[in-house]
Structure 1
Amino acid sequence: MMRFDPFREIEELTQRMDRAFGGAMNGQAARLAPPIDIHEDEQGLELTLDLPGVSPDDIQIEAENNTLTVQGQRRYDRKEGRTAHRVERAYGTFVRTFSVPAKYDLTKVEASFDHGTLTLHVPRSEAAQKRSIQIRTGGQQLSAPKTVDAEQGDQTEQSQE
């Protein structure tokens, strides 16, 4: 199930308006806002950004205070003696900022860049990992440990094999 993201809706509307009015509004060039996919599994988050035409040297990634920021620049190669009849692709700088819940460890972010796609892996923090905890009653250990999810604090029975 996809979560409602009002900022994504606003960004998509802005991009549609830019395209509808010839890619420029008030004399400014169309904004570069790379699309992103965000997936989550038991290991953590995976953020994938499409950055065609952007050099890895022009990308900066910062993680601070539960915020992950990706910024960069797609350069327009303007050559002398050549006339541009149409320029629809967005050029310039971009910044995408994401709030990351505390259950993820921003000190261990890994980034890879392949064929214009930037992939960021943000692992779950050690404190948020599920683990089995043995329960002792009256000095004896129960046969089935309880699994405690640090995120939700609920308990589910799990057999140990």
Structure 2
Amino acid sequence: MRFDPFREIEELTQRMDRAFGQASSGARLAPPVDVHEDEQGLELTLDLPGVQPDAIQIEAENNTLTVQAERRYARTDGRTAHRVERAYGTLARTFSVPAKYDLTKVEADFDHGTLTIRVPRSEAAQKRAVTVRSGGQLTAPKTVDAAAQPSGNAAQPSGTAQQA
């Protein structure tokens, strides 16, 4: 087998990371997310492979939604790791959520490593029928959007996360 100095450097770096605990602690990773919006509200879908459901924390406060999870590296005595490429540590994302969504009614489901979070529109932002009077006569009700805003105001990820 030919000598490859780059492979040797990569393996040495991995060994050092494992020796000093860098592979399992201190790392903050940003899991990938899809954000969709419809009439009912927002739906955020995050990939959290290898995370146990009890290791997930979701906090909603002051128009901010924070998702945090821990993926631990299982060390076993008497076993040598030749390659550790999967990410371990804290997975975290923070989203700025517009006021037209109700963070008090957040729902979350976790299935096969995929976390789905639903944030409904607030009742004040729901479409409703408004009766318009013209010359003292009632006309047919018209539906208006109480919180009409330009599109593109769905939850926006804020902050940055370092990747290991």
Q: Under a length normalisation based on structure 1, what TM-score does the superposition of the two structures give? A: 0.75
Corresponding position of 2:55: 58
Q: CA shift at 1:31, angstroms?
A: 4.6
* Structural mapping, 1:3-18, within 5 Å: none
1:149 to 145, 148, 156: 145
What SS class does the counterpart of residue 93 from structure 2 fall into?
strand
Residues 3-152 of structure 1: pairs in structure 2 closer than 5 A: 28-29=22-23, 31-142=28-139, 144-152=140-148
Q: Letter of the 1:147 partner, please give it.
A: T
Between the two proteins, what is the percent identity of the paired residues? 77
Partner Cα separation in structure 2 for residue 95 and residue 67 of structure 1: 13
Distance in 1 separating the partners of 2:99 and 2:10: 42
Whichever residue aligns with residue 144 of structure 2, its letter is V
Post-superposition shift, 1:151?
A: 1.9
CA distance in structure 1 between the aligned counterparts of 2:10 and 2:126, rounded to whole angstroms? 49
Q: Match for residue 17 of structure 1?
A: none
CA RMSD of aligned residues (A): 2.3
Contact 2:28 2:92 in 1 (8 A): no
Note the C-alpha offset of 1:139: 2.6
* Matching residue's letter, 2:67: V
Distance in 2 of aligned mates of 1:22 and 1:90: 16
Point out where structure 2 has 5 or more consecutive residues left out of the alignment: 1-8, 150-164
Size of the aligned set, in residue pairs, is: 132
Structure 1 residue runs of 5 or longer lacking an equivalent are 1-20, 154-161
**Residues 52 and 60 (structure 1), Cα distance of their counterparts in 2 relative to 1, 3 Å cut:** same
Q: Kindly provide the CA deviation profile for residues 109-159 of structure 1, in whole angstroms up to 9, marking residues without a partner as x.
A: 0001111111000000001011110112233111x3222211227xxxxxx
